[in-house]
A = this chain, B = another copy of it.
Amino acid sequence: MKNILSALVVAVSLSAPLYAQQDSAMLSKIYHESFYNGQAYDNLRYLTKEIGHRIAGSPKAEEAVLWSKSLMEKLSFDKVYLQDVDVRHWDRGEAERAVVVGTNEKLNVLALGGSVATPAEGIEAEVLEVELLSDLRKHGEEVYGKIVFVNKPWEESLVETDVAYGLNSGQRSRGPVEVAKLGGIAYLFRSLSSSAIDDYPHTGGTRYVEGIDSIPALAISAVGGNRLSDILKENPKTRLFLKNTSSWKGIVHSHNVIAEWRGTEKPDEIITIGGHIDSWDVGEGAHDNGTGTMGTLDAIRTLMQLGYRPRHTIRLVFYMNEENGVNGSLKYGEIAKEKNEKIIAAIESDLGGFAPRGFDIKASAEHVAWIQQQWKPLFEEKFWVSRFLKGSPGVDSGVWGRHFPNTVMFNFRSDPHRYFDLHHTAKDVFEAVDRRELQSGVAAIASLLYLVDQQIDKLQ
């Protein structure tokens, strides 16, 4: 008896380091496979160069859906299928124009996603510049008949560029409604760019409210915004000409792309992983979100290649329409809720494919602390991945997650410095992605997925 007890004590006291050693060895295999044989970068090349940008409802979006499905079918998933999603299709129309009236000076603009068109002949009006929408009230009747230009500069001093983005992004979505309420005839919004010397306009979603006039809404580049501000200081009566022809084209049938790898021990418990497959209709949707889709797919391929058999069912989801409606994640959540599924964890990747830094975690403080203690040491020194902090899940996980408040969620974080230089612009192209950085991120995601599958039960 004593011997058995001793043996048990030894076994228990050794188990933690032994597991850690096994995990550490597995992570090294994952990194090796990803760097040497990873396919995310080559798949990304196809997605960005052969398909290109893919706004929800467009033929290119459907091409991306079918091609993604065929990619998944090449791997040893147990099931690959499309989930029907209806999306509203917005079309940019012809190239937008912004010209300082009485000059030939053009300013770089892009319609915000969802914007209505100007009248066919364009709009010509004086411009009221404010820093914040909340300043509008003090201008009162001055707003009437004007183009309102919200020119809040990006808070450049933050390394946390997502925080800087959050400081201004509400002005983009609420702008057209707030301006229209006061009789403004168009909305011009300083682009959410992390660089003040950026002459590329950044698009992104905005919204209207029933019962309030829908007015045209455009983004102006940071350089264009600075220039316009200078012109207005010289002559506050300066008139601006704006023209865009964008419009909503109605409902289009589209799809989420889903693949399942059945769990060997707990097949009814699901780990969701993925990101959105749609993009804005400029650039190539490389970092937003080609890297997130091709990266999560390749993370699973990596585990498959290593002969791994998951304990829980791993479900890969490429969501449709994150950018201007989140219809894909709404639909995913509805169906999962209806079926009363048990989704125990989620991993999302939608913050770029730069050098991997870690994961924001939506979980209790205790669970986050446990993850920091147990998993962070496996990544930190050897693989330079060290950020395991309490934070928000991705947009799609956040949306369907409303039905699943207890699901532990992880949001992949790549280095934040450059993301918002490229985000929603013509610059978000394949060439802005580095293979080593991308495959390093794939390895980090695959490693996390492995650890979640192996150990998430300890958090339940």
Which residues of A approach B to under 8 Å, CB–CB? 28, 31-32, 35-36, 156-160, 194-195, 354-355, 357, 380-384, 386-387, 389, 415-418, 421, 434-437, 440
Contacts and interface: CB of A to CB of B under 8 A. Distances in A.
Contact of A35 (B157, B418, B435, B437): B157
B157 A31 contact: yes
Given A355-B355, A355-B415, A421-B436, A156 B35 contact: yes
A456 to B, nearest CB: 24
Contacts of A380: 386
Contacts of A32: 157
A386 B386 contact: yes
Contacts of A382: 159-160
A65 to B, nearest CB: 30
A380 to B, nearest CB: 8
A422 to B, nearest CB: 11
Nearest to A197: B435
A418 B434 contact: yes
Contacts of A386: 380, 386-387
A28 B157 CA distance: 8
Contacts of A415: 355, 384, 415
B437 A159 contact: no
A417 B389 contact: no
Contacts of A35: 156-157
B384 A387 contact: yes
A389 B384 CA distance: 11
A381 B389 CA distance: 8
A282 to B, nearest CB: 21
Nearest to A444: B159
Contacts of A437: 417-418
Contacts of A417: 355, 434, 436-437, 440
A389 B382 CA distance: 11
B36 A157 contact: yes
A384 to B, nearest CB: 5
A367 to B, nearest CB: 18
5 contacts: A35-B156, A384-B416, A386-B387, A421-B434, A421-B436
A156 B436 CA distance: 9
A156 B384 contact: no
Given A36-B156, A159-B382, 10 more contacts: A31-B157, A31-B158, A35-B157, A160-B382, A160-B384, A380-B386, A384-B387, A384-B415, A386-B387, A415-B415
A253 to B, nearest CB: 41
Nearest to A30: B157
Contacts of A158: 31
Contacts of A156: 35-36
Nearest to A383: B159
B159 A440 contact: yes
A418 B432 CA distance: 13
A36 B164 CA distance: 14
A437 B382 CA distance: 22
A276 to B, nearest CB: 24
Contacts of A31: 157-159
Nearest to A29: B157
A357 B437 CA distance: 14
Top 10 closest pairs, chain A to chain B, by CB: A32-B157, A35-B157, A417-B436, A35-B156, A355-B415, A417-B437, A386-B386, A159-B383, A159-B384, A355-B417
Nearest to A389: B381
A37 to B, nearest CB: 10
Contact of A436 (B194, B383, B384, B389): B194
Contacts of A416: 384
